[in-house]
Amino acid sequence: DVKVTQSSRYLVKRTGEKVFLECVQDMDHENMFWYRQDPGLGLRLIYFSYDVKMKEKGDIPEGYSVSREKKERFSLILESASTNQTSMYLCASKAGAGEQETQYFGPGTRLLVL
């Protein structure tokens, strides 16, 4: 079974803090993703990575950056947290081309920015 883990289930941070959310997958997947999920807005893609050190912006990258130094690990960074970044953050991974075209999600990190 694919396993995607996220470093924290719940986080409380203050406005202006730098926040790191970490995600690890154990299936040697090429692709990894960060989404945020908000009521009424659904899942929105922040960034994705298709290889180590490679990244592409999703639909809402503003205020976020990412890092992928190792294939299994994908980090989301909030450089200066703001209250409008309070959300559920979901990491996902997906195999490479020619394999199953579907994503597997982690358990999510619920972030509250005060």
Partner 1 sequence: QKEVEQDPGPLSVPEGAIVSLNCTYSNSAFQYFMWYRQYSRKGPELLMYTYSSGNKEDGRFTAQVDKSSKYISLFIRDSQPSDSATYLCAMSLYNFNKFYFGSGTKLNVKP
Q: Which residues bind partner 1 (CB under 8 A)?
A: 4, 31, 33, 40, 42-43, 45, 48, 50, 56, 88, 90, 94, 97-98, 100-108, 110
Residue 44 CB, nearest approach to partner 1 (Å): 9
Round to whole Å and give the CA distance between 93 and 102. 8
Residue 80 CB, nearest approach to partner 1 (Å): 26
Closest to partner 1 by CB, 11 or 43: 43
Round to whole Å and give the CA distance between 60 and 38. 13
Closest to partner 1 by CB, 40 or 62: 40
Q: Which of 76, 78, 61, 84 is CA-nearest to residue 17?
A: 78
Residue 82 CB, nearest approach to partner 1 (Å): 22
CA 51 centroid distance within chain:
15
